[in-house]
Amino acid sequence: MILEAARPDGASAPCRHCGLPLPAGSAGPYCCAGCAAARQAIEGLGLDRFYDRFVLDPAMAPLRPATDAHVDATTYAQPAGSGRSRVHLMVDGLHCAACVWLIESTLARDPRVLRARVNMTTRRLVVEWQGGPELADALLLPVVRLGFQVAPYDPGRLADAAAETERRLLQSMAVAGFAAANVMLLSVAVWSGLVGREAGGGMGVATRDLLHWISAAIALPAIAYAGRPFFAGAWRALRAGRSSMDVPIAVGVVLAAAASLHETLHSGTHAYFDSAITLLFFLLIGRWLDQRARGRARSAAQHLMGLRARAVSLLRADGTTERRAPEQVAPGDRILVAAGERIGIDGRVARGLSDVDAALVTGESVPVAVRPGSIVHAGTINLTGPLTVVTTASGERTLLAEIVRLMETAEQGRARLVALADRVARVYAPLVHVAALATFLGWWLLLAAPLQTAMMHAVAVLIITCPCALGLAVPVVQVVAGGRLMRRGVLLKSATALERLAQVDTVVFDKTGTLTEGRPVLLADPDRLPADLDAAAGIAASSRHPLALALVAAVGRPVAAAASVVEHPGRGLSWPGPDGEWRLGSRAFCGVGETAVETDPELFLARPGRPAVRFAFRDQLRADAAVVVARLRRRGLRILLLSGDRAPAVARAAADAGIGEWQAALDPAAKVAAMADLARQGRRVLMVGDGINDAPALAAAHVSMAPAAAADISQSAADLVFQGQRLTAVADALGAARAADRRVRQNLVLAIGYNALAVPLAVAGHVTPLVAAIAMSSSSILVIANALRPAGGRRHS
C-alpha cells in the first residue's frame, strides 16, 4: 500500500527499494543496481519492515534520500574514442574507503560501465562507459540514490569545501572539549559523593540531582552540536542501507544521553553525560587530523595545474598577435614566447635561440639551450630570448596534462589503502549493534529483567564497545611521531605516511637536488690562473644563467660586472676587450673543437691570441649522502638511483654515493614505469626526489619524501618533506616510522584486547554504564599514554 502511494499516477510498477517507477522494459523489482544493493543490505540487517514503514511512507518524504535528484552529468561527459564516453565529477559525502568501494561496485554492476574509479583524496569520480555522453545521467543516478552528491569537478570548490569542513570540525571539537572538561569536573564531584555516601556520609540526593541537571544542561546542547559530523554520517549510511563507524558512535552517544536524561528525570543514581561528550571530543580530534592530512594530499594535482600559462600570444598570418587561452590553440598555430614567459603549449621551435628551464621534463637545474627544431613543453619557462613556437599539442594533450593524469592515477592506487582501524570497523560496527541488541533482548525476554535494567545493560555494552580507543589507536601515534619528526626537520603530509614508511624495503633516490645539492659548483683546476677566473667572473656577472652565477660565486668576493657585455641567447656572452672581443660561453661560441665524450657542464673563456680557458661545473653530492646510503644498506634496504640526467653524470654520482643500481635519461613516465615494475616485484618503495618531473613518481611510490628546497609540486606530491641539506632525515624518518608502527600495533592490541575482556562482562551485567564510561575513557587514556612513551635513547643505525 505504501509503495502504491509512492508511485506516480499511471506509472509502471515501482522499485521495491526507492518507490520510483521502473524504467521502461525493466523486469524489476529494482530500478537500478544501487537500489538492489541497498535493499539487500537492509534485508541483511533485518531492517526491511522498518524501512518500508517509515522511509517509504509519504509522510516521511522530507527525510527520504534524494532518489529523484537530477544528476545533470551529461553536460560534462565527453567522447573518449572507440564509441566510449567519459565523465569527471566530484563526489560529496565520502568518509572512508567503504564509501569508495560502494560507489565503484555499484557502478560496476552496470554492464555498460567499463571503468569506475573514485580518488579518496581528491574526491574525483571518473566513469568510462560504452555508449554516448547522453547515458551519463542514467549511469550515475544509482550513486545519487545511495545518498552521495555529484557535481562538476572544480578544484577551487573542492578546496573551499575542505576548508569549510575543517572549520566546522574545529568548532565542534572546541565545543566538545569545553563541555567535556566542565562535565567531567561535575562528574568527579558526583563520584566522590557516591563513595562518601557508601562510607556513611557523602552527597545528598538533592545535590546529586542538581549536579546531574547542570551536567545535562551543558552536555546535551554540546552533544547535539558537536556530534553533527557523526550523526549526519550515520544517517546517510543507514538510509542507504549500509553501515559505518559513525553508526555505533551515534547510537552509543544518543542512548547514553537518553539514558542519562532518563536517570536524571527519575532522580537516578547514575548519569553518563561525561562519557558521551568525552567520546565525541576524542573522536573529533581524530577526524580533524584526518581531514587536515587529506587536504594536504589533495593539493598536489591542483598545484601542478597552476603551472599552466593563463594565456599565450597567437601569431596571425598578417604578423599581428592575439592573446588566447592555451586550450583554444590548435595544432599548427604559431605562438610567440617572450623571454621570462612560461610556455603554454607543447611545440617545436621555429625561430629564435634561448635557454629553457626544462625542470618539468628533465629535473635538471641547468637550463636547456633551444634552437629551431627543438621541442618545448607547456609549463617550462623561456629564460633568455624570444621564441616562435609551432604548436603540436595544447590543453589536455600536453605533457603537463599527462603528468597530472599520471599523478592522479598513482594517487588513486594510494587512496585505496585504508587504515587498519577502518578495515576493522567494517566488521566491528555490526557486531557492536548485535551485541547490544542481544544483551537487551536476553535480559528483558529471557531473564525477565525490568525494561530499565535491560536498557542499562545494553547501554553499557554500547558505551564500553564504542570504538574510541580503536579510533585513536592510529591518529594519536601519528600526532606524537609527527611532532618528534618535526623537531628533527621532517614534516608529515599524509595520514598514512608512517604506516607505509614502516613497510619500506627499497629506497629510490633522484639525483639532482636530492642526492646532490641541486646547483652547479665550479670544479678546481690547477692549470687555471686566478686572473682567468676574475676575468670570466667579470663578464659572467652580467648574466642570470645558473653557470654564470656559479662562476661568480666561485670567486668568493663581490665581483664588478664588466661594461658593455652582450648576451647571445643559447650561446654565451661577449665583451669588447682591450685587444678584441672576449667571449664566455659554449664550445661552438668560443671556437673550441667539439668532443665526442660527454662532459660536465662547462663554459669557455676565449680571448684573442690566447688559448681558451675551460671552466667545468659539477652538481656535488650532499655531504652525508654516502654515509646515509651505507646506513640504509645496513638495514637491509635495496638502494637505487633513477635520474633524468645524462648517463656519465648519473654513473659518477652513483659511484660516489655507493649505489650499485642506477638508470639515466628517464622522463616522468619512465620513472612511473620503474615504480610500477618494482611494485610488481613485491617491493615497497620509498621514493626520494625533488624535481617537478619527480612528482608522478613520488605519487606512484608506496611512500615518498622531498627536500624542503624542492619544487613546490614535488613537496605537495610527497608524503614527507625534510628540511636542511642533510639526507640523514631520510634514515631518521624510516627509524621513526618503524617505531611508530610498533606503537600502532600495541595500541590496536590494547584496544581490541580491552573490548575482548570488557564486552563479555558488560553482556553478563557485571558492568554498569558508569563503570563502562570509566573503562572506555581509561582505554583511551592508556592508548594515548602508550603513544606518548619516550622513543628511547637508542639511535637507529
- Comparison of pLDDT for 795 and 528, the residue scoring more: 528
Write down the pLDDT at residue 626.
94
CA nearest neighbour of 572 among 599, 600, 539, 594: 539
**Distance (Å) of CA 542 to CA 369, 546, 568, 604, 698:** 18, 12, 12, 16, 37
Dist CA 766 CA 251 (whole Å): 21
Dist CA 436 CA 192 (whole Å): 29
Dist CA 104 CA 110 (whole Å): 11
CA nearest neighbour of 379 among 337, 323, 439: 337
pLDDT > 90? residue 44: no
Q: What percent of the chain has pLDDT over 90?
A: 24
Q: Which of 359-368, 548-557, 567-576 has the lowest mean pLDDT?
A: 359-368
pLDDT > 80? residue 743: yes
Write down the pLDDT at residue 33.
56
Write down the pLDDT at residue 247.
73
In which band, very low, low, confident or very high, does the pLDDT at 200 lie, cut at 50, 70 and 90?
Answer: low
pLDDT > 60? residue 195: no
Residue with cell 572507440: 82
Dist CA 761 CA 740 (whole Å): 32
Residue with cell 618531473: 693
Q: Are strands 124-130 and 490-492 parallel, antiparallel or unpaired?
A: unpaired
User: What integer is the mean pLDDT of 484-509?
Assistant: 82
User: What integer is the mean pLDDT of 439-446?
Assistant: 90
Find out whether 351 and 379 touch, Cβ atoms under 8 Å.
no
In which band, very low, low, confident or very high, does the pLDDT at 426 lie, cut at 50, 70 and 90?
Answer: low
Write down the pLDDT at residue 70.
46
Eight-state DSSP code of residue 350: E
In which band, very low, low, confident or very high, does the pLDDT at 17 lie, cut at 50, 70 and 90?
Answer: low
Q: Which of 46-60, 168-182, 551-565, 737-751 has the lowest mean pLDDT?
A: 46-60
Q: Helix, strand, or coil here: 741?
A: helix
Could you count the other beta carbons within 10 Å of the beta carbon of residue 454? 21
User: What integer is the mean pLDDT of 671-696?
Assistant: 88
Cell of 309: 600559462
Write down the pLDDT at residue 289.
65
CA nearest neighbour of 535 among 578, 570, 567, 568: 578
How confident is the model over 767-782, as pLDDT tens digits? 866 566 667 667 777 7
Contacts of 720 (CB under 8 A, 6+ apart): 485, 490, 491, 492, 493, 494, 497, 501, 703, 704, 705, 706, 733
- Widest Cα–Cα separation across the chain: 114
Write down the pLDDT at residue 750.
84
Write down the pLDDT at residue 63.
43
User: What integer is the mean pLDDT of 86-114?
Assistant: 79
- Average pLDDT of the residues of the chain: 78
- Provide the CA 231 distance to its chain's centre, in angstroms: 25
Q: Helix, strand, or coil here: 110?
A: coil
Contacts 24+ apart (CB under 8 A), 785-794: 786/743, 786/746, 786/747, 786/750, 787/476, 787/477, 787/479, 787/480, 787/743, 787/747, 788/480, 789/743, 791/484, 791/736, 791/739
Angle subtended at Cα 231 by Cα 229 and Cα 235, rounded to the nearest 5 degrees: 120
Find out whether 428 and 96 touch, Cβ atoms under 8 Å.
no
Q: What are residue 702's phi and psi, to 5 degrees?
A: -60, -35
Dist CA 243 CA 251 (whole Å): 12
User: What integer is the mean pLDDT of 227-235?
Assistant: 83
Write down the pLDDT at residue 597.
67
- For 22-43, b where at least 16 C-beta lie within 10 A, e where not — what string? beeeeeeebbbbbbbbbbebbe
Q: What are residue 375's phi and psi, to 5 degrees?
A: -90, 135
- Cα separation of the two ends of the chain: 73
Eight-state DSSP code of residue 395: G
Dist CA 72 CA 68 (whole Å): 12
Find out whether 572 and 385 touch, Cβ atoms under 8 Å.
no
CA nearest neighbour of 123 among 147, 170, 157: 157
- Comparison of pLDDT for 754 and 433, the residue scoring more: 754
Write down the pLDDT at residue 455.
76
Write down the pLDDT at residue 157.
65
Q: What percent of the chain has pLDDT over 70?
A: 72
Q: What are residue 243's phi and psi, to 5 degrees?
A: -125, 165
Catalytic residues: 510
- Comparison of pLDDT for 360 and 285, the residue scoring more: 285
Q: Which amino acid is at 445?
A: L
Q: What is the CA radius of gyration of the chain?
A: 33
Write down the pLDDT at residue 60.
44
Eight-state DSSP code of residue 514: I
User: What integer is the mean pLDDT of 486-500?
Assistant: 75
In which band, very low, low, confident or very high, does the pLDDT at 8 lie, cut at 50, 70 and 90?
Answer: very low
pLDDT > 80? residue 279: no
Dist CA 190 CA 271 (whole Å): 10
Could you write out the three-class secondary structure of 422-434?
A: HHHHHHHHHHHHH
Dist CA 665 CA 663 (whole Å): 7
pLDDT > 70? residue 360: no
User: What integer is the mean pLDDT of 634-649?
Assistant: 90
Write down the pLDDT at residue 359.
65
Find out whether 734 and 740 touch, Cβ atoms under 8 Å.
no
User: What integer is the mean pLDDT of 272-297?
Assistant: 70
Highest mean pLDDT: which of 120-134, 141-155, 239-253, 504-518?
Answer: 504-518
In which band, very low, low, confident or very high, does the pLDDT at 400 lie, cut at 50, 70 and 90?
Answer: confident
Write down the pLDDT at residue 709.
65
